[in-house]
Amino acid sequence: MKQALKTAKSRTKVLFVINPKSGSAQDDTLKDLISEQAETQNFDFQIYNMTGNDEARISTEIKRFRPSIVAAAGGDGTVKMVAGILANTKITLAIIPYGSANGMAKELYISDIDFALELLSAGKVKPIDLININKEICIHLADVGLNARVVKRFEKDPKRGKLIYAKHLFGEMFFLKSYRFQIKHDDEEISRKGVSITFANAMRYGTGAIINPHGILDDGKFELVIVKPFPRVQLMSIAWKMFRGKLHTSDYVEIISCEEATIISSRKTTLQVDGEVIGKVKEIKLSIMPKALSVLVPKDFKTEAVRKP
* CATH value at residue 106: 3.40.50.10330
**Same domain (yes/no): 147, 245:** yes
Q: Which domain holds residue 141?
A: 136-290
* Domain end position, chosen among 107, 129, 151: 129
- The answer on pLDDT for 217 being more than 60 is yes
More confident residue, 109 or 22: 109
Task: Give the model's confidence band at 240: pLDDT under 50 very low, under 70 low, under 90 confident, else very high.
Answer: confident
- Looking at the fold, whether 120 and 147 belong to one and the same domain comes out as no
- Note whether 50 and 74 are within 8 A (CB): yes
Asked, for residue 284, whether it belongs to a domain, the answer is yes
Mean pLDDT for all residues in the chain: 88
Residues 140 and 120 in one domain: no
Q: Are residues 20 and 125 in the same domain?
A: yes
CATH number at residue 241: 2.60.200.40
- How would you label 75-88 residue by residue, b for 16+ Cβ within 10 Å and e otherwise? bbbbbbbbbbbbbe
Predicted TM-score (pTM) of the model is 0.88
Asked if residue 160 has pLDDT above 70, the reply is no
User: How are beta strands 276-297 and 124-133 bridged, if at all?
Assistant: antiparallel
Q: Residue 6 has what pLDDT?
A: 44
Same domain as 187, residue 114 = no
Is the residue at 59 inside a domain?
yes
- 167 versus 88: the higher-pLDDT residue is 88
Of 100, 129, 158, which residue constitutes the final position of a domain? 129
Same domain, 192 and 283: yes
Average pLDDT over residues 294-302: 94
43 CB neighbour count, 10 Å cutoff? 20
> Is 235 within a domain?
yes
Whether 57 shows a pLDDT value over 80: the answer reads yes
Share of residues in the chain with pLDDT > 70 (%): 84
Q: Is residue 307 part of a domain?
A: no
Residues 143 and 284 in one domain: yes
Q: Which residue has the higher pLDDT, 272 or 190?
A: 190
Alpha helices in 158-307 (DSSP H): 162-173, 235-243
pLDDT at position 152: 54
Q: How many domains does the chain have?
A: 2
Q: How confident is the model at residue 306 (pLDDT cuts 50, 70, 90)?
A: low
Residues 123 and 140 in one domain: no
Task: Look at residues 129, 162, 181 and tell me which one is the last residue of a structural domain.
Answer: 129
pLDDT-derived band at 25 (thresholds 50, 70, 90) equals low
